Amino acid sequence: MTAIQKRVIINGIVMVLSTLSAVIGLGFLFWILFILVSNGIEAMNWDIFLFEGAPPGYAESGLKQALVGQLIIVGAATVIGVPLGILAGTYLSEYGQRSKLAETIRDVSDIMMSAPSIVVGSFVYAVMVIPMGHFSALAGIVALTIIMLPIILRTTDDMLHLVPTTLREAAFALGAPKYKVVLQIVYRGAKAGILTGVMLGVARVAGETAPLLFTSFNDNYMSTDLFAPMASLTVTMYNYATSPYADWQRLGWAAAFILSMFILGLNIIGRLILLNKKGK
């Protein structure tokens, strides 16, 4: 057997093993989605959106307080985290560039992206919940903002780097100031990538449970007070899914279905935007 034949055989074996591994992975993914969708759709009804949580056995029981709380916490974290992340990424790409400070921020951001969310929750618990003496939605917002920030920062930094330098130089040659070049040239060239990063960041924090257990905790009743515990879909789902009551378990499946479809939708939209940008 020649060396070329050996390489062909080894390449074929590796291709078969790689394909088999991918098929197994996809098989587990579709298995999980099938169970989630089948149980979630079965548990869905209008009462989920009309009624708050109730004790086991009550017919008029839903997830209204969790849905509203999830929108408030994730929405507020998005309002804070998106501008901060985009501005920080802009500084790294357009002003800091390869300076020591910029490289340090990039390194810290990479570390934060890989840090377990429960660590962030523990940190916010130590610096906010303990001094305040109680859980609060505000602490949950801060925790989700910390998780979201490095994702948007690094995506913005990377997307702005992809904008050709010649576009900047052409704008400078026409006498445009730096801020106008960034706002009207660089941002426009990278808007699809930045929007994708924002959606991925929101999708990441929308499914977090551990940091909210340490910060906003939970509430079975409607609350919009940012300085008090607030219900969230993720924590409510966890509590209901682990309860011994069948009706609460059905609500847990419904919460999991709603949350999964929301996150899946955001990821698909983000990918489509990025593919559309590449196609152009």
Other CB atoms within 10 Å distance of the CB of residue 204? 19
Q: Cα 188 vs. chain centroid, distance in angstroms?
A: 24
Question: How many Å apart are CA 182 and CA 87, to the nearest integer?
Answer: 11
| Residues 174-219 pLDDT 10s | 888 888 888 888 998 888 888 888 988 898 899 899 999 999 988 8
Nearest CA among 242, 157, 237 for reference residue 194? 157
Q: Are residues 36 and 56 in the same domain?
A: no
Q: What pTM was computed for the model?
A: 0.86
Instruction: Give percent helix, percent strand, percent coil of the chain, each to the nearest 5.
Output: 80, 0, 20
Per the structure, the complete domain to which residue 31 belongs is given by 3-43
| Residues 28-53 pLDDT 10s | 989 998 999 999 999 888 889 888 88
Q: Helix (H, G, I), strand (E, B), or coil: what is residue 55?
A: coil
Q: Are residues 260 and 122 in the same domain?
A: yes
Q: Are residues 210 and 178 in the same domain?
A: yes
Nearest CA among 59, 88, 118, 63 for reference residue 254? 63
| Residues 130-164 pLDDT 10s | 999 999 999 999 999 999 999 999 999 999 988 88
Tally of CA atoms within 13 A in the half-sphere of 219 that contains its CB = 22
Q: Are residues 79 and 9 in the same domain?
A: no
Between these two residues, 31 and 60, which has the higher pLDDT value? 31
Q: Are residues 105 and 226 in the same domain?
A: yes
End-to-end CA separation in angstroms for the chain:
48
| Residues 102-116 pLDDT 10s | 899 999 998 898 889
**CB 210, CB 124: distance < 8 Å:** no
Q: What's the mean per-residue pLDDT of the chain?
A: 89
Question: Torsions phi, psi of 228, nearest 5?
Answer: -135, 165
pLDDT(279) > 60 = no
- 125 Cβ neighbours under 8 A, 6+ residues apart: 139, 214, 215
Confidence (pLDDT) at 72: 95
Q: Are residues 74 and 176 in the same domain?
A: yes
C-alpha torsion sign, points 207, 270, 74, 153: positive
Q: Are residues 159 and 28 in the same domain?
A: no
Q: Are residues 38 and 115 in the same domain?
A: no
Number of domain units in the chain: 2
Q: Are residues 150 and 111 in the same domain?
A: yes
Q: Are residues 105 and 64 in the same domain?
A: yes
Q: Residue 174: which CATH number?
A: 1.10.3720.10
Q: Are residues 138 and 237 in the same domain?
A: yes
Please name the amino acid found at residue 145: T
Q: Are residues 67 and 25 in the same domain?
A: no
